[in-house]
A and B are shown apart, each in its own frame.
Chain A
Amino acid sequence: DTGVSQNPRHKITKRGQNVTFRCDPISEHNRLYWYRQTLGQGPEFLTYFQNEAQLEKSRLLSDRFSAERPKGSFSTLEIQRTEQGDSAMYLCASSLEGQETQYFGPGTRLLVL
C-alpha cells in the first residue's frame, strides 16, 4: 500500500502524559499537513510542512504541540502534558507541489483519560 500511513491507529493515555504520533506520507509528496478532528466536526488544520520546513502553524497548535519533519519524509506530532480536550482524531495528509489534492491517512485516534 503506497498511501499515507499513520501510527499508532489508536492511543489511550492519562492526562499529563506525552504522546507522539508518526505520519509517513506518499513517498514523492513534498507537502505534509496535520489536522485534528473532533466528533461531528470536519478536520481542522494544525500545521503544514514543505519538505522539512514547517511553514505554517494554526493557533490551535498550542505550545504543548510540536511537529517535525526532519528529513522531509516522515513527520511526527508530539503532544506534551496531554489534556482531556486533546482527545480527537489526528489526521495527516500529503500532497505533491503543483498537484494540490491532499491524500489523507487513516488517522490516529487519541483518548486522554
Chain B
Amino acid sequence: LAKTTQPISMDSYEGQEVNITCSHNNIATNDYITWYQQFPSQGPRFIIQGYKTKVTNEVASLFIPADRKSSTLSLPRVSLSDTAVYYCLVGASEGYQKVTFGTGTKLQVIP
C-alpha cells in the first residue's frame, strides 16, 4: 500500500480557497487517489476520487500531476462547516481496499 504524507494542520479564513496537498511517491500504476472528510465523532465521508489530471464534483476538485506522486484537494470558498480532518488515501480501484488512513490534515476555518 502506498504511503501518503499530508500536513498535520492548516488554518484558513472563511470564503478562501483551501488547497491540501498529499504526497504519495510510491503510488502504483493501478492505484486511485481518494479523499475523505471526517468531523468529530462521525465516520469518514467520501469527498472525491481520481486517477489523473483533474476531477471536480459539487464539493471539491482534485488535481493530480502527470507523475501522480502527489495530489491536491481544493476546497472552494470554505465555510466554518468545512472544519474537519481530511484524509488522503491511495489504493487500487479493483479488489477490496484495505485502506490505510494516515493522521490526516486538520483544517480549521476561522471566521
Contact = CB atoms under 8 A, between A and B. Distances in A.
B42 interface: yes
A107 interface: yes
Contacts of A104: 36, 43-45
A31 B44 CA distance: 17
B89 to A, nearest CB: 9
B98 A56 contact: yes
A70 interface: no
B42 A100 contact: no
B96 A50 contact: yes
Nearest to B101: A42
B103 interface: yes
Task: Classify the interface of chain B: helix, strand, loop or mixed.
Answer: loop
Interface size class of A (residues with CB under 8 A): 20 to 34
Given A45-B99, A98-B94, A103-B46, 18 more contacts: A35-B101, A42-B87, A42-B101, A42-B103, A42-B104, A43-B101, A48-B96, A48-B98, A55-B96, A56-B96, A100-B95, A100-B96, A101-B49, A102-B97, A104-B43, A105-B43, A106-B41, A107-B41
29 contacts: A4-B43, A35-B101, A41-B103, A42-B100, A42-B103, A42-B104, A43-B44, A44-B101, A45-B98, A48-B96, A48-B98, A56-B96, A91-B44, A93-B43, A95-B96, A98-B94, A100-B91, A100-B92, A100-B93, A100-B95, A101-B34, A101-B46, A102-B99, A104-B44, A104-B45, A105-B43, A106-B42, A106-B43, A107-B41
The 5 A-B pairs of least Cβ separation, nearest first, read A42-B101, A104-B43, A43-B101, A104-B44, A91-B43
Interface of A: 4, 31, 33, 35, 40-45, 48, 50, 55-56, 89, 91-93, 95, 98, 100-107, 109
